[in-house]
Structure 1
Amino acid sequence: MTEPGWVHHVLWWQVYPLGFVGAHPAEPAPTAAEHRLRRLADWLDYAVELGASGLALGPVFASRTHGYDTTDHYRIDPRLGDDDDFDHLVGEAHRRGMRVLLDGVFNHVGTDFARFREARSGGDPSWFRLRGNVFDTFEGHDGLIALNHDNAEVADYTVEVMRHWLGRGADGWRLDAAYAVPDSFWARVLPQVRQAFPDAWIVGEVIHGDYSATVHAAGFDSVTQYELWKAVWSSLNDANLHELDWALKRHNEFLDSFVPMTFIGNHDVTRIASQLTHPEHVEHALVVLLTTGGTPSIYAGDEVAYRGVKEERVGGDDAVRPEFGSPHEGVGEHGSQVFRSHQHLIGLRRRHPWLHTARTSPLQVTNRGYVYASREGADTLLVALNVDDDAMAVSLPALGFPRAQIVAGSGAPPSDIVTEVAVAPHGWMILEPR
């Protein structure tokens, strides 16, 4: 594993800045004089209260629309503000002990990217991938022009941009659409970045495929764990916890070579509170996230049960990328309870930092009930999930544990030392062997 030591303790609070501060969609668009990026600094105490120790930012660089159509990688999007606003946000985050992760788009650029405008007007097209005489696009999106990753100048440019913002205080990069870029490109770029910033953390957005092979070939520290994300909500909705068990076995294999970036929500998917058919199962998803190996990320708003459905249409992301008012505004009692659950389980994760690299092993598996052990060395936690309408009996001696202490759970008082437990209908429990 190549990740920096600080990553062992980080828990990201992920924000999509353009939506968060009401800069996109917006008519008219705000100007740099409004300094909207500074609104994020006003939420950092809230993030710390939640238990986060890192701020994972979506796109903040100049673009025309949603931020992933970059027009200038060296300029803060004027709808958000300017360089001073970026410096202020990073400084305030670091003052609170929070790391900052940037979102870098190096697979494609927007149509207003200077070199593309020149190429389209008859200039040198070598920075861009061509299909015959036509500029190639990313997944058919006309506004996203694919870069030519065989061009050494594109690689050098990417190195320079990544170094520039790390030099301005960022702690790492999420590389957007990394799955669409040849691994050989990253293998050329990332060693040069790390030569100047060896403590930077680099995570690639990868959805399908052999994660371990990609990490090895590209030189990432981590990739996004979409397999586990899908298995969590799908297994809970279908009452098929065998699917979750299979995904956790795969997850163990990944942990042998790298620590994945884990999540149950992000800016590209339907929010977990909308994705799950049973409202109480949001806690089950969170329990899995925070009791398994990985570098966890909480998508802003999920911690208070925000709802939003992603749709495959123009503007289909807007519902999952809303503007935020002030902390705890309008979340209601249910949202407040979900927030407290996040605090409690994040606190448990902090008290057991070994969970970062923990492997899981199944102890009791049915369609509607699942008990697994999370282990790292001599440390163990037992996790029981029940999605049935009836209580689930768990005999600890039968699972190889004479007794255990309840440390968290729905409908169960913590601190009790037990040999037998009944996990409430649609409930969960975390125990520590004694």
Structure 2
Amino acid sequence: MTDTTTQARWQEDASRHLVRNASDRLAMFTRGEGAYLWDQDGRRYLDFLGGIAVTSLGHAHPVFVDAISRQAATLAQVSNFFATPTQLELAALLKELAGAGDAGRVYFGNSGAEANEAAFKLARLHGAADRNGGSARPRILALKNAFHGRTMGTLAITGKPSMQEPFLPMIPGVEFIDSTVEALEAAIDDRVAALFVEPIKGEAGVVELPEGFLVAARELTRAHGALLIIDEIQTGAGRTGAWFAFQHSGIVPDAITVAKGIGGGFPIGALITFGDAGDLFYPGTHGSTFGGNPLGTAVATAVLREIERADLLTNATERGAQLRHAIENLGSPLIESTRGQGLLIGVSLRHPVAGAVVAAAQQHGLIVNAANDDTVRLAPALNIGDVEVDEFLDLFARALHTVADSLLLEETPTTPEDPA
């Protein structure tokens, strides 16, 4: 059977069996190891997307495999009528890493969307439950072009009208503002229950907030009695070189949401509250059958401990800087600049050809992602080293050359760097 025939077969199966909520699948992967994936024909690819910032330790890492195997042989699920040691251990660890203190609390779900759903309900509880005799807070602020999920609750706080349009009307009460301190100052008042923020807008093209925005947001929300809720789904678990991106600003939020990288590939999400925000939920206000199950929490603890043991926060910082510098010096006429923090990187292109670059990269054996028409997103495993970086630069340069050649663009020779 030819490769073409094999590809046609699985693509036909995918079209026949799967809901068409996404475009055609780009490949059929059958196994992974470290920073690499293999397709059904045995071809190897360098994975610099990492399941969209999920596989923190790469594929089939021994720590990940061992944690799943050990816990699956012990206890996988008991429901939230009961506690388990792994659940309590992970909750304590997340509080410690986030700096939530003794007053902090953790709610477990199974995804980033579930974590943000919980955060939305936390905001509503804060808006309705004014225990000091004040008026209700019906308003929730979120940022334009931010992404928080595709469920009806999280879609309501996602500032992308095109995504909302097929499902209107949205849950009311959410208002979208520009990502500027001036816009926040103009919008916030004592009727705001919460402000939702992505510290780096990953789905918008790895777009960072303006300098000082989070500090100002903390001051303004505190002054008006609103919650500051930070979505760390894509930026957490060491991705930006700190455990959570908000920590770069030196602030303390009221709540953060986490998922993706904390499980290293196992589905798990969490809401972490700080201070009095942890008292808002009470029995019956929220829940999840599988949330905080022993299997998921054991794996997440093992992943986070390995990130800590191997000092992967430092590696994310250093490799991110190394990659951005090297990418900007490839000499490709397609590259405008890079942005992001740590190992969440957006490569800004001078032409709207990100999709073509991604397709060319895959042809050359490299997996990256088009966050939008003019941005290629990178989110590799946090433990990549010189070998993976060098291979990436070679493959990415080839992909860029393929696309530039098709556009008849002239490449600029790179200038040797001054060794000093």
Same fold (TM over 0.5): no
Structure with greater contact order relative to length (CA < 8 Å, sep ≥ 6): 2
- Which structure's residues are more often strand, by fraction? 1
User: So what's the TM-score if we normalise by structure 1?
Assistant: 0.30
